[in-house]
Amino acid sequence: MNLATRKLTQFLITAVLCFSAARSFGQDTNARLQLANLDKLTEKAAHFTDVTLDGSLLQFAVNLIEKVDAEDRDVDQLKSIVKNLKGIYIKSFEFDEASQYSKGDIDAIRSQLTSPRWSKIVQSVEKRRNEYNEIYVLKNGDRVAGVVILVAEARELTVVNLVGDVPMDKVASLERHLAPGEKHSDKPKQKKESGHDQE
Amino acid sequence: MHFSEDDLREALKRKDPGEGFTQRTMARVNQAGTEGTKQPATKKANGKFLAWWMLRPAWAMAVVAVLLLAFGIGGYQYSEYRHAEEMRMARVKQQQLQQEAERARDQAIMALEIARAKMNHVLRHAQLQAEPNDKIRRERL
Protein backbone atom coordinates (compact mmCIF):
# COMPACT_ATOMS: atom_id res chain seq x y z
CA MET A 1 0.00 0.00 0.00
CA ASN A 2 1.63 3.21 -1.08
CA LEU A 3 1.49 6.52 0.71
CA ALA A 4 -1.32 8.00 -1.39
CA THR A 5 -3.58 4.98 -0.81
CA ARG A 6 -2.90 5.06 2.92
CA LYS A 7 -3.71 8.78 3.07
CA LEU A 8 -6.90 8.24 1.11
CA THR A 9 -7.96 5.41 3.45
CA GLN A 10 -7.31 7.58 6.50
CA PHE A 11 -9.31 10.41 4.97
CA LEU A 12 -12.24 8.11 4.19
CA ILE A 13 -12.27 6.65 7.70
CA THR A 14 -12.20 10.15 9.21
CA ALA A 15 -15.00 11.29 6.91
CA VAL A 16 -17.16 8.28 7.83
CA LEU A 17 -16.57 8.87 11.56
CA CYS A 18 -17.41 12.57 11.21
CA PHE A 19 -20.53 11.74 9.27
CA SER A 20 -21.70 9.21 11.87
CA ALA A 21 -21.03 11.66 14.71
CA ALA A 22 -22.89 14.42 12.89
CA ARG A 23 -25.74 12.05 12.13
CA SER A 24 -26.15 10.91 15.73
CA PHE A 25 -25.91 14.54 16.91
CA GLY A 26 -28.54 15.50 14.41
CA GLN A 27 -30.80 12.71 15.56
CA ASP A 28 -30.62 13.91 19.14
CA THR A 29 -31.32 17.43 18.04
CA ASN A 30 -34.27 16.28 15.96
CA ALA A 31 -35.85 14.80 19.05
CA ARG A 32 -36.65 18.32 20.16
CA LEU A 33 -40.03 19.56 19.04
CA GLN A 34 -40.87 23.12 18.12
CA LEU A 35 -43.53 24.11 20.64
CA ALA A 36 -43.52 27.85 20.05
CA ASN A 37 -46.91 27.67 18.35
CA LEU A 38 -48.46 26.88 21.74
CA ASP A 39 -47.24 30.08 23.37
CA LYS A 40 -50.39 31.92 22.32
CA LEU A 41 -52.41 29.66 24.64
CA THR A 42 -50.84 31.17 27.75
CA GLU A 43 -53.31 34.03 27.47
CA LYS A 44 -56.30 31.70 27.62
CA ALA A 45 -54.92 29.23 30.17
CA ALA A 46 -55.92 29.33 33.81
CA HIS A 47 -52.68 27.55 34.73
CA PHE A 48 -49.67 26.91 32.61
CA THR A 49 -46.29 25.32 33.09
CA ASP A 50 -43.41 26.04 30.78
CA VAL A 51 -40.13 24.23 31.35
CA THR A 52 -37.13 24.59 29.07
CA LEU A 53 -34.04 22.90 30.42
CA ASP A 54 -31.09 22.09 28.22
CA GLY A 55 -27.41 22.81 27.71
CA SER A 56 -25.45 24.12 30.63
CA LEU A 57 -28.48 24.60 32.88
CA LEU A 58 -29.48 20.97 32.57
CA GLN A 59 -25.87 20.02 33.21
CA PHE A 60 -25.91 22.12 36.40
CA ALA A 61 -29.07 20.36 37.49
CA VAL A 62 -27.63 16.96 36.69
CA ASN A 63 -24.44 17.77 38.58
CA LEU A 64 -26.41 18.87 41.63
CA ILE A 65 -28.65 15.83 41.53
CA GLU A 66 -25.65 13.55 41.14
CA LYS A 67 -24.00 15.17 44.15
CA VAL A 68 -26.87 14.10 46.39
CA ASP A 69 -25.43 11.33 48.47
CA ALA A 70 -28.55 9.52 49.48
CA GLU A 71 -29.37 5.89 49.64
CA ASP A 72 -32.93 6.66 48.66
CA ARG A 73 -34.07 4.48 45.78
CA ASP A 74 -35.86 7.41 44.16
CA VAL A 75 -32.76 9.56 44.17
CA ASP A 76 -30.81 6.74 42.55
CA GLN A 77 -33.54 6.38 39.98
CA LEU A 78 -33.60 10.10 39.38
CA LYS A 79 -29.84 10.13 38.90
CA SER A 80 -30.04 7.34 36.36
CA ILE A 81 -32.78 9.20 34.46
CA VAL A 82 -31.17 12.62 34.28
CA LYS A 83 -27.70 11.25 33.57
CA ASN A 84 -28.30 10.85 29.85
CA LEU A 85 -30.90 13.54 29.30
CA LYS A 86 -30.02 16.32 26.88
CA GLY A 87 -33.13 18.42 27.14
CA ILE A 88 -36.46 18.67 28.96
CA TYR A 89 -39.19 20.75 27.37
CA ILE A 90 -42.70 20.92 28.78
CA LYS A 91 -45.68 23.04 27.95
CA SER A 92 -48.78 22.36 29.94
CA PHE A 93 -51.98 24.38 29.89
CA GLU A 94 -55.13 24.02 31.95
CA PHE A 95 -58.24 25.93 30.93
CA ASP A 96 -61.35 26.90 32.82
CA GLU A 97 -63.49 26.25 29.76
CA ALA A 98 -63.39 23.55 27.11
CA SER A 99 -62.20 24.00 23.50
CA GLN A 100 -59.70 26.72 24.17
CA TYR A 101 -57.16 25.26 21.78
CA SER A 102 -57.69 24.22 18.19
CA LYS A 103 -57.10 21.02 16.31
CA GLY A 104 -54.48 22.94 14.35
CA ASP A 105 -52.44 23.41 17.53
CA ILE A 106 -52.34 19.65 18.02
CA ASP A 107 -51.70 18.95 14.36
CA ALA A 108 -48.70 21.28 14.42
CA ILE A 109 -47.19 19.02 17.09
CA ARG A 110 -48.21 15.78 15.39
CA SER A 111 -46.80 16.91 12.06
CA GLN A 112 -43.35 16.92 13.63
CA LEU A 113 -43.80 13.32 14.66
CA THR A 114 -44.58 11.92 11.22
CA SER A 115 -40.97 10.96 10.50
CA PRO A 116 -40.52 7.16 10.36
CA ARG A 117 -38.01 7.40 13.15
CA TRP A 118 -40.79 8.41 15.53
CA SER A 119 -43.03 5.58 16.71
CA LYS A 120 -46.37 6.06 18.39
CA ILE A 121 -46.19 3.46 21.16
CA VAL A 122 -49.35 4.35 23.10
CA GLN A 123 -52.55 5.98 21.95
CA SER A 124 -55.74 6.47 23.85
CA VAL A 125 -58.66 8.22 22.19
CA GLU A 126 -61.95 9.06 23.87
CA LYS A 127 -63.87 10.95 21.23
CA ARG A 128 -66.98 11.51 23.33
CA ARG A 129 -64.91 13.32 25.93
CA ASN A 130 -62.59 14.84 23.33
CA GLU A 131 -59.49 13.20 24.81
CA TYR A 132 -56.43 12.27 22.79
CA ASN A 133 -53.49 10.88 24.71
CA GLU A 134 -50.40 9.68 22.90
CA ILE A 135 -46.83 8.67 23.62
CA TYR A 136 -44.20 8.78 20.89
CA VAL A 137 -40.65 7.46 20.99
CA LEU A 138 -37.71 8.37 18.79
CA LYS A 139 -35.50 5.33 18.33
CA ASN A 140 -31.80 5.55 17.63
CA GLY A 141 -30.80 1.95 17.05
CA ASP A 142 -31.68 0.07 20.21
CA ARG A 143 -31.73 3.16 22.32
CA VAL A 144 -34.37 5.79 22.92
CA ALA A 145 -33.27 9.22 21.68
CA GLY A 146 -36.40 11.12 22.61
CA VAL A 147 -39.90 10.85 24.04
CA VAL A 148 -43.00 12.94 23.48
CA ILE A 149 -46.07 12.65 25.69
CA LEU A 150 -49.10 14.43 24.29
CA VAL A 151 -52.14 14.85 26.50
CA ALA A 152 -54.94 16.70 24.75
CA GLU A 153 -58.15 16.82 26.76
CA ALA A 154 -61.11 19.14 26.77
CA ARG A 155 -59.64 21.47 29.38
CA GLU A 156 -56.02 20.50 29.27
CA LEU A 157 -53.20 20.40 26.79
CA THR A 158 -49.79 19.06 27.80
CA VAL A 159 -46.76 18.32 25.69
CA VAL A 160 -43.78 16.70 27.39
CA ASN A 161 -40.66 16.41 25.26
CA LEU A 162 -37.66 14.59 26.71
CA VAL A 163 -34.52 14.56 24.57
CA GLY A 164 -31.76 12.03 25.12
CA ASP A 165 -31.57 8.46 26.28
CA VAL A 166 -34.76 8.25 28.33
CA PRO A 167 -35.32 5.12 30.44
CA MET A 168 -39.11 5.15 30.14
CA ASP A 169 -39.71 2.42 32.67
CA LYS A 170 -37.83 4.39 35.29
CA VAL A 171 -39.69 7.61 34.49
CA ALA A 172 -43.03 5.84 34.83
CA SER A 173 -42.08 4.26 38.12
CA LEU A 174 -40.71 7.40 39.77
CA GLU A 175 -42.26 8.03 43.16
CA ARG A 176 -44.46 11.04 43.59
CA HIS A 177 -42.58 12.90 46.29
CA LEU A 178 -39.63 13.99 44.20
CA ALA A 179 -40.59 17.57 43.50
CA PRO A 180 -39.33 19.78 46.32
CA GLY A 181 -42.21 21.23 48.31
CA GLU A 182 -44.76 20.29 45.72
CA LYS A 183 -46.74 17.17 45.00
CA HIS A 184 -48.27 16.35 41.67
CA SER A 185 -51.13 14.03 41.21
CA ASP A 186 -51.84 12.44 37.87
CA LYS A 187 -53.87 15.53 37.09
CA PRO A 188 -51.72 18.13 38.75
CA LYS A 189 -52.93 21.60 39.53
CA GLN A 190 -49.79 23.28 38.36
CA LYS A 191 -48.76 26.66 39.49
CA LYS A 192 -48.64 29.41 36.95
CA GLU A 193 -44.96 29.57 36.31
CA SER A 194 -42.58 29.67 33.46
CA GLY A 195 -39.22 28.17 32.69
CA HIS A 196 -35.89 29.84 33.04
CA ASP A 197 -35.92 31.11 29.49
CA GLN A 198 -38.81 33.40 30.26
CA GLU A 199 -37.49 34.78 33.49
CA MET B 1 54.07 107.27 8.92
CA HIS B 2 54.53 110.62 10.56
CA PHE B 3 51.94 112.60 12.42
CA SER B 4 52.37 116.25 12.70
CA GLU B 5 51.50 118.07 15.85
CA ASP B 6 48.45 119.53 14.15
CA ASP B 7 47.19 116.10 13.26
CA LEU B 8 47.44 114.95 16.85
CA ARG B 9 45.79 118.09 18.14
CA GLU B 10 42.95 117.62 15.69
CA ALA B 11 42.51 113.97 16.68
CA LEU B 12 42.53 114.57 20.40
CA LYS B 13 40.41 117.66 20.57
CA ARG B 14 37.13 117.62 22.52
CA LYS B 15 34.11 116.51 20.63
CA ASP B 16 30.44 116.91 21.47
CA PRO B 17 28.86 113.44 22.18
CA GLY B 18 25.39 114.69 21.21
CA GLU B 19 22.15 114.88 23.11
CA GLY B 20 21.11 111.95 25.42
CA PHE B 21 24.65 110.66 25.83
CA THR B 22 24.21 110.15 29.55
CA GLN B 23 20.92 108.22 29.10
CA ARG B 24 22.38 105.97 26.44
CA THR B 25 25.40 105.22 28.52
CA MET B 26 23.34 104.41 31.65
CA ALA B 27 21.00 102.21 29.60
CA ARG B 28 23.92 100.18 28.29
CA VAL B 29 25.36 99.88 31.76
CA ASN B 30 22.05 98.58 33.11
CA GLN B 31 21.64 96.16 30.22
CA ALA B 32 25.11 94.76 30.71
CA GLY B 33 24.37 94.41 34.42
CA THR B 34 21.23 92.32 33.99
CA GLU B 35 22.79 90.04 31.34
CA GLY B 36 25.76 89.46 33.56
CA THR B 37 23.74 88.45 36.65
CA LYS B 38 21.06 86.15 35.07
CA GLN B 39 22.99 82.95 34.41
CA PRO B 40 25.11 82.87 37.46
CA ALA B 41 21.88 83.04 39.57
CA THR B 42 20.50 79.69 38.12
CA LYS B 43 23.79 78.03 38.53
CA LYS B 44 23.82 79.20 42.06
CA ALA B 45 20.32 77.63 42.72
CA ASN B 46 21.28 74.20 41.23
CA GLY B 47 24.42 74.32 43.13
CA LYS B 48 22.54 74.93 46.36
CA PHE B 49 20.25 71.97 45.79
CA LEU B 50 23.12 69.67 44.90
CA ALA B 51 25.03 70.98 47.80
CA TRP B 52 22.14 70.03 50.12
CA TRP B 53 22.16 66.48 48.76
CA MET B 54 25.91 66.27 48.98
CA LEU B 55 26.10 67.65 52.48
CA ARG B 56 23.22 65.54 53.94
CA PRO B 57 23.37 62.05 52.32
CA ALA B 58 21.72 60.43 55.31
CA TRP B 59 18.70 62.68 55.02
CA ALA B 60 18.58 62.11 51.29
CA MET B 61 18.61 58.35 51.77
CA ALA B 62 15.93 58.65 54.43
CA VAL B 63 13.71 60.63 52.08
CA VAL B 64 14.22 58.04 49.35
CA ALA B 65 13.52 55.22 51.80
CA VAL B 66 10.32 56.88 53.03
CA LEU B 67 9.15 57.39 49.48
CA LEU B 68 9.91 53.77 48.58
CA LEU B 69 8.15 52.55 51.72
CA ALA B 70 5.12 54.71 50.98
CA PHE B 71 4.91 53.46 47.42
CA GLY B 72 5.44 49.87 48.55
CA ILE B 73 2.71 50.02 51.19
CA GLY B 74 0.37 51.78 48.77
CA GLY B 75 1.00 49.17 46.10
CA TYR B 76 0.55 46.29 48.55
CA GLN B 77 -2.71 47.71 49.87
CA TYR B 78 -3.96 48.28 46.34
CA SER B 79 -3.11 44.71 45.32
CA GLU B 80 -4.80 43.42 48.50
CA TYR B 81 -7.86 45.49 47.70
CA ARG B 82 -7.91 44.17 44.13
CA HIS B 83 -7.52 40.60 45.35
CA ALA B 84 -10.33 41.01 47.91
CA GLU B 85 -12.53 42.57 45.25
CA GLU B 86 -11.84 39.73 42.83
CA MET B 87 -12.57 37.18 45.56
CA ARG B 88 -15.82 38.94 46.41
CA MET B 89 -16.87 38.98 42.76
CA ALA B 90 -15.97 35.30 42.42
CA ARG B 91 -18.03 34.48 45.53
CA VAL B 92 -21.01 36.43 44.20
CA LYS B 93 -20.71 34.67 40.85
CA GLN B 94 -20.40 31.31 42.58
CA GLN B 95 -23.51 32.04 44.64
CA GLN B 96 -25.41 33.06 41.51
CA LEU B 97 -24.32 29.89 39.75
CA GLN B 98 -25.33 27.82 42.77
CA GLN B 99 -28.76 29.45 42.88
CA GLU B 100 -29.17 28.98 39.16
CA ALA B 101 -28.16 25.34 39.46
CA GLU B 102 -30.57 24.77 42.34
CA ARG B 103 -33.36 26.38 40.36
CA ALA B 104 -32.47 24.18 37.38
CA ARG B 105 -32.43 21.10 39.62
CA ASP B 106 -35.86 21.94 41.04
CA GLN B 107 -37.16 22.50 37.52
CA ALA B 108 -35.69 19.21 36.32
CA ILE B 109 -37.30 17.36 39.22
CA MET B 110 -40.63 19.09 38.63
CA ALA B 111 -40.40 18.35 34.90
CA LEU B 112 -39.75 14.67 35.53
CA GLU B 113 -42.60 14.62 38.01
CA ILE B 114 -44.92 16.02 35.34
CA ALA B 115 -43.51 13.57 32.77
CA ARG B 116 -44.14 10.68 35.16
CA ALA B 117 -47.66 11.85 35.94
CA LYS B 118 -48.57 12.35 32.30
CA MET B 119 -47.00 9.10 31.18
CA ASN B 120 -48.91 7.17 33.81
CA HIS B 121 -52.06 9.10 32.93
CA VAL B 122 -51.79 8.10 29.26
CA LEU B 123 -50.89 4.51 30.10
CA ARG B 124 -53.82 4.19 32.51
CA HIS B 125 -56.23 5.59 29.96
CA ALA B 126 -54.91 3.22 27.31
CA GLN B 127 -55.18 0.31 29.73
CA LEU B 128 -58.72 1.23 30.69
CA GLN B 129 -59.76 1.50 27.06
CA ALA B 130 -58.66 -2.05 26.59
CA GLU B 131 -61.06 -3.18 29.32
CA PRO B 132 -64.32 -4.41 27.82
CA ASN B 133 -66.68 -3.42 30.59
CA ASP B 134 -67.71 0.12 29.88
CA LYS B 135 -69.24 0.58 33.31
CA ILE B 136 -66.04 -0.34 35.14
CA ARG B 137 -64.12 1.90 32.79
CA ARG B 138 -66.29 4.90 33.49
CA GLU B 139 -66.06 4.32 37.24
CA ARG B 140 -62.29 4.12 37.17
CA LEU B 141 -61.96 7.20 35.02
Distance of residue A149 Cα from the nearest chain B Cα, in angstroms = 7
pLDDT tens for B43-69 read 556 777 777 777 788 888 899 999 999
What 3 state SS string does chain A have? CCHHHHHHHHHHHHHHHHHHHHHHHHHHHHCCCCCHHHHHHHCCCCEEEEEEEEHHHHHHHHHHHHHCCCCCHHHHHHHHHHCCEEEEEEEEEECCCCCCCCHHHHHHHHHHHCCCCEEEEEEEEECCCCEEEEEEEEEECCEEEEEEEEEEECCEEEEEEEEECCCHHHHHCCCHHHCCCCCCCCCCCCCCECCHHHC
- Whether residue A138 contacts residue A31, with contact meaning beta carbons closer than 8 Å, is answered with yes
pLDDT tens for B114-132 read 888 888 888 888 888 776 6
B13-28 average pLDDT score: 85
pLDDT tens for A101-127 read 998 999 999 999 998 889 999 998 888
pTM > 0.90? no
Least confident of A122-126, A164-168, A183-187: A183-187
pLDDT tens for A22-65 read 555 544 557 899 999 899 999 999 999 999 988 888 888 888 77
CB proximity B89 to A under 8 Å: no
Would the pLDDT of B101 be above 50?
yes
The domains of chain A are located at 34-54+86-198
**Per-residue pLDDT, A181:** 41
pLDDT tens for A137-149 read 998 888 889 999 9
**Cβ-defined contact of B112 to A123 (cutoff 8 Å):** no
**Cβ-defined contact of B111 to A60 (cutoff 8 Å):** no
Distance of residue B78 Cα from the nearest chain A Cα, in angstroms = 36
Candidates B119, B129, B141: best to mutate against A (most CBs of A within 10 A) is: B119
pLDDT band at A194 (very low <50, low <70, confident <90, very high): very low
Which of A50, A28, A30, A31 shows the shortest CA–CA distance to A39?
A50
Distance of residue B84 Cα from the nearest chain A Cα, in angstroms = 27
